[in-house]
Amino acid sequence: MKDLVLAITGASGSAYAIRLLQVLIEAGRQVHLVISPAGEQVLQHELGLSIDPRRFSIDQLLPTTAQETDSQPGQVAFHDYRDFSAGIASGSFRTDGMVICPCSMGTLAAVSQGLSQNLIQRAADVHLKERRKLVVVPRETPLGSIQLSNMKILADAGVVILPAMPGFYNQPQSINDLVDFVVSRICDQLGVPQDLTKRWGKPKN
């Protein structure tokens, strides 16, 4: 099973993270999941999901779809955001990439400066130093010059900046369509096969 890191931070857009988690599970990926305290707060606020980091179970994140999204035992490994002894804190632990979705401006700034003050920031730093795929999905509007500078620093370091900016050219009919638009772009970057949206120039299957 290919390992991917999914970090959820405290920007708006928890729905992107939950849908992404679902798609990664369905694609058979091993997911290393880390959620910041602010990420937990936003999950609760936007989706009514309560996480207990000490007794994490996948049902806390995928309650309504648990039957449809059959994860294998151990397919989602939850790591406490302070646990620097987790495998993903080390470059010797191989992964196929990492995504921070959604990515707050705070985490974006910390990663751009290499602060490594929690497991999310450390794992991102590791992906950078190991020259592995790192995708960040920032959400903020409008953007200030410091935030834009931080994005430029990351883009120059090889990070894929994939803002949560759904396109409307597929004539979305629902919020789910808008969410799937962004999630499909993330999966394309991570090399995860999916058919969530119609591709421009191709008929939808």
Ligand X SMILES: Cc1cc2nc3c(=O)[nH]c(=O)nc-3n(C[C@H](O)[C@H](O)[C@H](O)COP(=O)(O)O)c2cc1C
Question: Which parts of this chain interact with ligand X (CB under 6 A)?
Answer: 9-12, 36, 38-39, 41-42, 45, 104-107, 139-140
Burial of 184 (0-12, 13-18, 19+ CB in 10 A): buried
Smallest distance from ligand X to CB 73, Å: 28
Smallest distance from ligand X to CB 69, Å: 24
For ligand X, give the closer residue by CB, 109 or 192. 109
Cα separation, 203 vs 150, in Å, equals 38
Q: Long-range CB contacts (< 8 A, 24+ apart) of 72-77?
A: 74/30, 75/1, 75/25, 75/28, 75/29, 75/30, 75/31, 76/21, 76/25, 76/31, 76/33, 77/30, 77/31, 77/32, 77/33
For ligand X, give the closer residue by CB, 1 or 143. 143
Q: Which residues pair with 31 in a beta bridge?
A: 4, 76
For ligand X, give the closer residue by CB, 9 or 95. 9
Cα separation, 160 vs 162, in Å, equals 6
Cα separation, 202 vs 175, in Å, equals 23
Q: Token digits for 97? A: 């990439």
For ligand X, give the closer residue by CB, 24 or 103. 103
For ligand X, give the closer residue by CB, 38 or 89. 38
For ligand X, give the closer residue by CB, 73 or 142. 142
User: Taking the C-alpha atoms of 15, 194, 5 and 152 in order, what is their torsion angle to the nearest 10 degrees?
Assistant: -80
Whether residue 98 contacts residue 79, with contact meaning beta carbons closer than 8 Å, is answered with: no
Residue in the shown chain whose Cβ atom is closest to ligand X: 10
